Amino acid sequence: MLLPAAATERIAALLGRRGYLDRPEDLTLYEYDGGVDKHRPDLVVFPRTTVDVAAIVAIASEFQIPFVGRGAGTGLSGGAIAREGGIMLAFARMNRILEIDLENERAVVQPGVVNLDLTLAVQDRGYYYAPDPSSQRACTLGGNVAENSGGPHTLAYGVTTNHVLGLELVFPDGSTVETGGQELDLPGYDLTGLLTGSEGTMALVTKVTTRLMRKAELVKTILAIYESSEDAGRTVAEITARAITPVAVEMLDGVMLRMVEEATHAGYPMDAAAVLLIELEGLREAVEEQVEQIREACVLTGAREFRVARTAEERDLLWKGRKNAFGAVGRVSPTYYVQDGVVPRTKIAPTLHFIGEVARRSGLTISNIFHAGDGNMHPIILFDARKPGELEKARAAGESILAYCIEAGGSITGEHGVGMEKNELMARQFSPESLEMIGRLKDLFDPDNRLNPGKVLPTGRGCLEIRQAPLGGPGSLSHSTVY
């Protein structure tokens, strides 16, 4: 869309010439995230304060311009893409840790603070921030709040919403509110919980109050090696049956193992069909006992080898391989498409078998690396976008896998969000009544559908869907049957 000149002039006066980008060559850098979709904003702005954000949103409201917030752009579902153009608020300059209160195990940060930087700020004093997405060296806490991000260690410690105590927010009309606080449980409706994970469609986050956690007395990292992915999947079920909850259970299949090892030399076996990366932490006696229980579970379910990292350096190297996996894929394939379905842990083995069938039918290579402990599958579909039809083939393969996850009793997303990637699948996951209720919430916060439009809810491609109305319409949703 073409922005009104008066709106651009007022934003320029507010932020100064170095506070925004409007040249096409600059805007191109903000048309994508970590997924496969693209759309260019008309203006990218860099607020430094909550007051700046509120003023920009008020201008967008006055001129009926769509707008979207953006952290580091590492998301994988198109959540930070300006699908309808308009203004993109990039929070890179709101990147200060405002307060650290270790006595109460709290921190207050701006949304542009990088996830890992919060841990680095407190680790020398024995604390850390628990949610650890694979992109934690780059992703920001504001984006983590928007997507309710997870990570390998959420099996024991939960996702972002379990660590967010309060938010400062700017609503689509430019008003500013605070929810929650440093207390554990405030009276009234849990607006903090509602807006964490709302994918930037109801409000923009300008400040976050988080929990901090103490480091454990002992950490043990285990590598279990298998001749089949199905055996590794059975091990996860066996560990669960023994009432053991590791802090992380990650699985890498053979295709992924070879890509990771060639890139990072982390010590993964090149000839295995799969490995489980298992981590335990807690009191020394309990951890040492659980290591032996997990050893028994792995051997019982077909592990050919069971290794325990002997040093902190070995442990860090194993996790380096896991956290750098997506970069390793980039060395092998010019493009890849990451999926994010969830299945019950007892369905991991048949789901892996189905993914293998999809790979054979489509003629595409699909590797698997995922949070096996909570059934959050991440099949990575390798393709070459330069070849006509390959992107469409990859999308179709991903949709087949997500449909299977729903049929298996799971979900279309575990941590990446719905965004613009999976919104048409929402009608398969939810009933029309449930979608209508979700839409009514969106309508309550954003009646003109200008904040991150075209995300989360179906837009009308499928059957019996709840469709988002055009921008500026009277309410954001309408019933529709489309064939």
188 phi/psi in degrees, rounded to 5? 95, -175
Q: pLDDT for 128-176, tens place per residue?
A: 999 999 999 999 999 999 999 999 998 999 999 999 999 999 999 999 9
Do 456 and 384 reside in the same domain of the chain? no
Q: pLDDT for 380-422, tens place per residue?
A: 999 999 999 999 999 999 999 999 999 999 999 999 999 999 9
- Alpha carbons within 13 A on the beta-carbon side of 296: 8
Q: pLDDT for 215-232, tens place per residue?
A: 999 999 999 999 999 899
Do 319 and 256 reside in the same domain of the chain? yes
Q: What pLDDT, on the 0 to 100 scale, is given for residue 386? A: 93
Does 354 have pLDDT greater than 50?
yes
**Helix, strand, coil percent values for the chain (each to nearest 5):** 40, 20, 40
Final residue of a structural domain among 363, 383, 407: 407
Q: What pLDDT, on the 0 to 100 scale, is given for residue 51? A: 98
434 sits in which H/E element: helix 432-445
Q: What pLDDT, on the 0 to 100 scale, is given for residue 146? A: 98
Range of the domain at 194: 97-214
Q: Among the listed ranges 86-95, 178-187, 237-246, 284-293, which one has the minimum average pLDDT value?
A: 178-187
Residue 293 lies in a domain: yes
Total domain count for the chain?
Answer: 5
Distance of alpha carbon 314 from its chain centroid, rounded?
Answer: 27
Q: pLDDT for 291-336, tens place per residue?
A: 999 999 999 999 999 999 999 999 999 999 998 888 899 889 989 9
Q: What is the mean pLDDT of residues 101-121?
A: 98
Cα–Cα distance list, 10 to 58, 88, 366, 431, 451 (Å): 11, 15, 49, 44, 20
CA dist 34 and 250 (Å) reads 21
Q: What pLDDT, on the 0 to 100 scale, is given for residue 200? A: 97
308 phi/psi in degrees, rounded to 5? -115, 125
Do 379 and 457 reside in the same domain of the chain? no
Residue 414 lies in a domain: no
Long-range contacts of 350-353 (CB under 8 A, 24+ apart): 350/408, 351/377, 351/404, 351/405, 351/408, 352/229, 352/230, 352/233, 352/253, 353/230
Q: pLDDT for 232-244, tens place per residue?
A: 989 998 998 999 9
Task: Residue 346: give its domain's CATH number.
Answer: 3.30.1370.10
Q: What pLDDT, on the 0 to 100 scale, is given for residue 183? A: 81
Task: Residue 104: give its domain's CATH number.
Answer: 3.30.465.10
> Read out DSSP for 95-132?
--EEEEETTTTEEEE-TTSBHHHHHHHHGGGTEE----
Contact indicator for 67, 88 with CB cutoff of 8 Å: yes
Sign of the Cα pseudo-torsion (196, 197, 202, 203, in order): positive
CA dist 49 and 389 (Å) reads 45
Say what the alpha-carbon torsion angle 144, 148, 153, 155 is, to the nearest 10 degrees: 180
Q: pLDDT for 44-64, tens place per residue?
A: 999 999 999 999 999 999 999
Give the residue, 187 or 162, on which the prediction is more confident. 162
Final residue of a structural domain among 407, 437, 461: 407
> Which two tokens mark 404?
């299977």
Q: pLDDT for 434-459, tens place per residue?
A: 999 999 999 999 999 999 999 999 98
